[in-house]
């Protein structure tokens, strides 16, 4: 299975308007890789990752995501749904081009942006849900597990597969995974670099529900968010924080150290070489098409 296949054919603008409600965009004019809309009827925000072909997470996309997350909170949205404009990839994870022969300042900004986006999402005061309408390896799994609810379309894969490519999932990737699945399952899966199929992910609780279409996935997320309609939002936020404050504080206190570990990891000659070979392969493949 090639989860990195080109999906340029799915233009973002072709996404059908799901509801009759009007939606308004809160995105700044500079939004390049995301679409951010708030449904005026439900008050629910939808953040659509839109960086074809595979929503690779680069500095700009991560920065936009964080800004959208902050906007959703500031605007007191009822909840936030994250999904993808692609019909085969939720996100393929971190953009290798950010890590291959990187410029010092850029790569630091990149990792810091990932930390900031994750802290914003994992600690968000509003209900968060992932409509996983495509593959979600590595960074894709990180985003999904940072949400409070996950629904997935069939026949895709999700997991922290870092060990397969010779790197180590940072501690906070693991912590968020452990917030969702039992420790026994997590240890085996993450050491193996296991990518769960949708059915396997559902079986172990890594995703909560499975539906057949993106529309149904969005609807499930809306149902989840609606389950809080009688709940005091302030009390809800403080309660959620009780479950997540430890991981957030740990990363906050270790940001610089976490950055240095990441840099030490990717700057190893063997890792740089592996990335180079991989990217060369992608280029050749791209030319053939």
Q: Which is nearer to its own copies, 45 or 174 (CB)?
A: 174
CA 274 to each of CA 159, 165, 257, 269, 279: distance values in angstroms, whole numbers, following the listed order: 21, 8, 24, 9, 9
The backbone torsions φ and ψ at residue 149, rounded to the nearest 5 degrees and listed phi first, read: -150, 145
Q: Which is nearer to its own copies, 62 or 207 (CB)?
A: 207
Q: Which is nearer to its own copies, 154 or 166 (CB)?
A: 166
State the catalytic residue, choosing from 49, 94, 96, 121: 94
Least separation, in Å, of the C-beta of 244 and its own copies?
Answer: 8
Least separation, in Å, of the C-beta of 40 and its own copies?
Answer: 25
Alpha helices in 126-232 (DSSP H): 139-146, 171-178, 183-192, 198-204, 214-226
State the catalytic residue, choosing from 161, 193, 195, 206: 161
State the catalytic residue, choosing from 93, 123, 139, 193: 139
Q: CB under 8 Å to 50, separation ≥6 — which residues?
A: 12, 33, 34, 35, 84, 85
| 216 in catalytic set | no
Least separation, in Å, of the C-beta of 34 and its own copies?
Answer: 26
State the catalytic residue, choosing from 37, 64, 162, 247: 162
Q: Which is nearer to its own copies, 32 or 227 (CB)?
A: 227
Q: How many CA atoms lie within 13 A of 227 on its CB side?
A: 10
Kindly state the DSSP code that residue 94 receives in the 8-state scheme: B
Least separation, in Å, of the C-beta of 122 and its own copies?
Answer: 12
Q: From the CA atom positions of the chain, what is the Rg in Å?
A: 18
Q: Which is nearer to its own copies, 20 or 235 (CB)?
A: 235
| 162 in catalytic set | yes
Least separation, in Å, of the C-beta of 278 and its own copies?
Answer: 14
Distance separating alpha carbons of residues 88 and 90, to the nearest angstrom: 7
| 87 in catalytic set | no
Least separation, in Å, of the C-beta of 175 and its own copies?
Answer: 9
Looking up tokens 């849900």 gives 129
Q: Would you say 47 and 36 are in contact if contact means Cβ atoms under 8 Å apart?
A: yes
- 15 by DSSP, 3-state: which? coil
Give the binding site for its own copies (CB under 8 A).
Answer: 127, 148-149, 162-169, 171, 174, 178-184, 186-188, 190-193, 205, 227-228, 230-232, 234-236, 238-240, 242-243
Query: What's the token pair of residue 188?
Result: 């085996």
Q: Would you say 247 and 122 are in contact if contact means Cβ atoms under 8 Å apart?
A: yes
Q: Which is nearer to its own copies, 108 or 236 (CB)?
A: 236
The set of catalytic residues is 94, 139, 161-162
């Amino acid at each position: 299975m090639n989860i990195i296949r080109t999906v340029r054919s799915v233009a973002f603008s072709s996404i059908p308007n799901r509801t009759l409600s009007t939606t308004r965009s809160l995105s700044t004019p500079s939004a390049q890789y995301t679409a951010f809309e708030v449904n005026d009827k439900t008050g629910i925000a939808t953040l659509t990752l839109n960086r074809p072909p595979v929503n690779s997470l680069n500095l700009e996309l991560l920065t936009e995501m964080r800004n959208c997350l902050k906007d959703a909170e500031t605007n007191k949205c009822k909840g936030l749904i994250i999904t993808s404009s692609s019909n085969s990839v939720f996100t393929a994870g971190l953009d290798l081009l950010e890590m291959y022969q990187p410029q010092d300042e850029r790569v630091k900004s990149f990792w810091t942006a990932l930390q900031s986006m994750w802290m914003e999402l994992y600690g968000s005061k509003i209900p968060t849900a992932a409509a996983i309408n495509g593959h979600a390896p590595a960074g894709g799994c990180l985003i999904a597990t940072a949400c409070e609810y996950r629904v997935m379309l069939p026949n895709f894969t999700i997991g922290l597969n870092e060990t397969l490519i010779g790197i180590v999932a940072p501690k906070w990737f693991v912590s968020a995974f452990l917030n969702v699945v039992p420790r026994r399952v997590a240890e085996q899966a993450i050491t193996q670099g296991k990518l769960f199929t949708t059915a396997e992910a559902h079986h172990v609780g890594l995703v909560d529900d499975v539906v057949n279409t993106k529309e149904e996935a969005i609807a499930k997320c809306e149902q989840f968010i609606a389950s809080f309609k009688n709940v005091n939002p302030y009390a809800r936020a403080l309660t959620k924080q009780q479950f997540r404050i430890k991981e957030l504080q740990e990363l906050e206190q270790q940001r610089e150290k976490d950055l240095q570990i990441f840099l030490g990891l990717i700057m190893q000659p063997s890792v740089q070489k592996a990335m180079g070979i991989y990217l060369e392969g992608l280029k050749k493949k791209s030319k053939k098409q």
